[in-house]
Structure 1
C-alpha cells in the first residue's frame, strides 16, 4: 500500500514531497527554535547525553543548513558525518533540534537541511550538499574541521518526507548507511529507488498508528535480496519521540545505529544483532534481514 487514495485524489497535481509536507506540517515540534547564530559564533547551547556537550551553528559556506557538533571538537577522535532531512521537507534546521543535538553529543557532525527556524521546502540535493561541504571542510586549509572529520563514514537519515529524500540519494557511493524514520515510499512507481539501495538500512517506525507504517512495511518486502536491513516499530505514532529530551527512545536507538555503523561500536551492534539483541526484549517490534 502507498499513500492513501483519499489524499492522492485530494491533491492530484501536487508534487509528492509537497503532499507529504501538507499532511505533516501541523505535527511534531522538536524543541524551540532560536535565532540563527552568526557564522563565527560557537554552537548555540550545551546539550545531549553523550560525552561531548553539543549544540548547533551556521556557516556561510553552507548557508541553507544547520550544523550540529560537539561544542569543543575532540582532539582524539574524528567525527563521522550525518546528513538529516526534516519531516514535511521543511527547511527548518532546528525543528528536530533535540535528537540532532543528542547525536552530535556522541561524537558526530550532524548537518540538517534548513537554517535555524527557517521556512520553505527542502530537496534531496541538499543532503548531498551537506556531504560535499563536510568532505571539503575536512581538507580545507583554515577550516576548524580540517582533519577532524571521518569522511569515510557517512550516514544519511530523514523523517517522513525527509525519508523520501534519503531514498533519493541512497545510491551515492560515499554513504555508509541510511535510515528512515516514520517514512516509506508513497507510490509503487517509486519502487525503483529501492533497487538503488547499497548500504545497510534501518527503518524506525511508530507502529500501526503511524501513517507511514503500511508504506514502510511494503518497502520492507521489496528490498534487494541480501541487503542488510533492520525494521523497528515502537508504538508511538507518526511523530515518534523527537520532541522528548534528547529525542527520547528514537534518539537513543538512532545513536546506537550510528555508533555501530559509523564507529564500529560493538555494544551498539548488540542492540540490533543476535537472538538476545538489546531491543528484542523491549517494547520495540523487531524484524531483521542479513544483519551479521
Structure 2
C-alpha cells in the first residue's frame, strides 16, 4: 500500500511541475510559428510562445479577454500571431476555461514572466525582455488593461473594442503612461463612443493612436492570424517594444476602410 501511495504521489507531483504541452497547431505569420502551453506556476493563464525561442530577447504581452472571460484560448488566433513575431504573450484564463477574470491576473502574468526570466531551470531564463511590456485587452478585458496599465513596468497599453462605462471611472485614464492605442470596430461597435470619449480625455502630452475598422464589436479576432487586427496589433508591438521602424510604417500607412487619428505620437 505504501508503495502504491508513493507511486501515486510521484505521478501527481510530475503533473504539477510539468507544463502542459501545446494543444493546437502552431500559428502566426511571423518568423517563429507559435503555440500555447500552461504551467502550474501560473495556473490560471495560458502562455503563447514561439515553438523555437528566438535568439533575441522576447518582450512581454499580457492579455485580458472580452467579457472578462477566463478562457485563455478564446483569442488564440491573434495571440499566436503576436507570439510568432517574437513575443511572449500571456492570456488570462486556462485553455477553454470558464469563469471570470480581473486586472490583478494581468499583474500576476507580468510578475510571473519577470520571475521566470531569472529563475534557475526556467526555459525562459535570460530569454525575456522584462523592460519591454505591453498590456492589452478586448472589451471588458480592455477595462482590465486600463487598470493594469497604471503599473510602472508597462510600456504601452492597447484597448480593443473597449472604453470606460462611467464618467466616474475617468480618473483611471490619468494613470496611463507610455503610448496607448485604441482599436475599435467603427461606429457599429458598441464600445465605439466610449473609446472615442476616453481618447479625448487622455492626459495632455500622452502619445496616443486611434484606429477604427468597420467590423463591429467582435473585430477580426476569429480570422486567420487575427485578420487585420492581428496585422495592426503586431505592427504596434514591434514598433513600440522592438523599435521596428518598418512596423511603424504599417501604422502610418493605414488607409480606407481604416480611419486613423493620433496625437503626440509620430
TM over 0.5: yes
Question: How many pairs are equivalent?
Answer: 249
**Pick from 65, 69, 72: which aligns with 2:45?**
65
Q: Is the counterpart of residue 183 in structure 1 residue 162 in structure 2? A: yes
Give the distance between the partners of 2:207 and 2:250, measured in 1 at CA.
15
Give the distance between the partners of 1:48 and 1:214, measured in 2 at CA.
31
1:270 alignment partner, SS class: helix
Q: Is the counterpart of residue 197 in structure 1 residue 176 in structure 2? A: yes
1:110 alignment partner, SS class: strand
Higher relative contact order (CA 8 A, sep 6+): 1
Give the distance between the partners of 1:185 and 1:39, measured in 2 at CA.
39
Give the equivalent residue in structure 2 for 1:278.
253
**Pick from 53, 68, 82: which aligns with 1:103?**
82
Give the distance between the partners of 1:39 and 1:252, measured in 2 at CA.
33
The unaligned stretches of length 5 or more in structure 2 are 1-16
**Pick from 100, 103, 122: which aligns with 1:143?**
122
Give the distance between the partners of 2:172 and 2:145, measured in 1 at CA.
10
Give the equivalent residue in structure 1 for 2:231.
252
1:39/1:58 contact within 8 Å kept: no
Q: TM-score, normalised by structure 2?
A: 0.92
Q: How much does 1:270 deviate?
A: 1.8
Give the distance between the partners of 2:168 and 2:133, measured in 1 at CA.
28
Give the equivalent residue in structure 1 for 2:196.
217
Give the equivalent residue in structure 2 for 1:129.
108
Q: How much does 1:39 deviate?
A: 4.0
Q: How much does 1:40 deviate?
A: 3.0
Q: TM-score, normalised by structure 1?
A: 0.84
Give the equivalent residue in structure 2 for 1:117.
96
Give the distance between the partners of 2:98 and 2:18, measured in 1 at CA.
19
**Pick from 23, 29, 33: which aligns with 1:49?**
29
Q: How much does 1:42 deviate?
A: 3.9
Q: How much does 1:180 deviate?
A: 0.2
Give the equivalent residue in structure 2 for 1:7.
none
2:205/2:264 contact within 8 Å kept: yes
Larger Rg: 2
The unaligned stretches of length 5 or more in structure 1 are 1-37
Gap change, CA 1:93 and 1:39, over 3 Å in 2: farther
Q: How much does 1:169 deviate?
A: 1.4
Give the distance between the partners of 1:174 and 1:220, measured in 2 at CA.
22
1:61 alignment partner, SS class: helix
Give the equivalent residue in structure 2 for 1:26.
none
Q: How much does 1:221 deviate?
A: 1.0
1:39/1:57 contact within 8 Å kept: no
Please list the CA deviations of residues 91-118 of structure 1 after superposition, one character each: whole Å capped at 9, or x if unmatched.
0000001110111111000000000000
Give the distance between the partners of 1:197 and 1:73, measured in 2 at CA.
31
Q: Which has the higher helix share?
A: 2
